[in-house]
Copies of this chain bind each other. A is one copy, B any other.
Amino acid sequence: VVEGLKLLQGALAVGAPVESVFVDGAARQEPEVSSVLADVAGHGIRVFVLAPDVLARVADTVTPQPVLAVVGMPAARLDQLEDATFVVVCVDVRDPGNAGTVIRVADAAGADGVVCCDGTVDPFNPKTVRASAGSVLHLPVVVAGDARSALDTLRAQGMRRVAALTRGGEPYTAFDAGPPLALVLGNEARGLPPDLAPHIDAYISIPMTGRAESLNVSTAAAVLCFDVARRRSNLHDVVDP
């Protein structure tokens, strides 16, 4: 379920299989809404007009949106990432806001896909979709069960599996970001389970110079993914102090 005009427009723009659209009866005449509905009709998608109170009750947000859409979002398969050069793997990332932000960041930094393992929240849950700002529709998102077997499949597909630790890993600016890379992120509180060690090729950390003890998993993902993008796209420093 995709909520709101902006996410619906995003779904249409990327050609996602929008199955049906539900619109608030009171809002359907608003210019913005009716322009999107015309687009929806042009795609031959069914539109259902609902009494105002119905949508408010069904919606997941505090401020209900004028439209909801049911979009077929088939999870991708690991073998679709065979030619990937950069994927992000979430192991037991529980919070929908964090998982959605990781997917948004991976998309923005040009990753080829995101793999959700073990206890990770459903990436197609409405809260995750919202936090991803539509990015779950932009890049392949794989729902993989067991992290060990997913990491072994990625290894067999030629990827180097590099995991982020709060501390003790190699500085993130120093590891070899060149080869096909699987960046592995762990649980918000506990990090990665120790029994995953045989399935990890290297560990990296973000050096912190202040008094803060750690970063949120989605914040760390942003720093790490954009540094990979920077180094790969030759966004070299013009001025280095």
Is the Cβ of A171 less than 8 Å from the Cβ of B235? yes
Is the Cβ of A207 less than 8 Å from the Cβ of B222? no
- Identify A241's interface contact among B106, B173, B177, B207, CB under 8 A: B177
User: Is A53 positioned at the interface, with any CB of B under 8 Å from its CB?
Assistant: no
Q: Please, what's the 1-or-0 string for A37-56, where 1 marks a CB less than 8 Å from any CB in chain B? A: 00000000000000000000
Is the Cβ of B173 less than 8 Å from the Cβ of A108? no
User: Is A58 positioned at the interface, with any CB of B under 8 Å from its CB?
Assistant: no
Shortest A84–chain B CB gap in Å is 13
- CB neighbors of B among A1-15 (8 A): 14
- CB neighbors of B among A208-240 (8 A): 208-216, 218-220, 222-223, 226-227, 229-233, 235-240
Closest to A170 in B: B238
Closest to A175 in B: B239
User: Is A74 positioned at the interface, with any CB of B under 8 Å from its CB?
Assistant: no
Bound CA span A185–B14, Å: 30
- Identify A230's interface contact among B14, B173, B176, B238, CB under 8 A: B173
Residue pairs across A and B with Cβ atoms less than 8 A apart, 24 shown, are A101-B216, A104-B216, A105-B212, A106-B210, A108-B210, A108-B212, A108-B214, A111-B210, A133-B212, A133-B213, A133-B216, A135-B211, A138-B211, A139-B210, A173-B236, A173-B237, A173-B238, A174-B235, A178-B239, A223-B226, A227-B227, A227-B230, A231-B237, A232-B241
Shortest 8 CB-CB contacts between residues of A and residues of B: A178-B241, A110-B209, A108-B212, A107-B210, A138-B211, A107-B212, A174-B238, A176-B239
Interface residues of A (CB under 8 A from B): 14, 101, 104-111, 133-135, 138-139, 171, 173-178, 206-216, 218-220, 222-223, 226-227, 229-233, 235-241
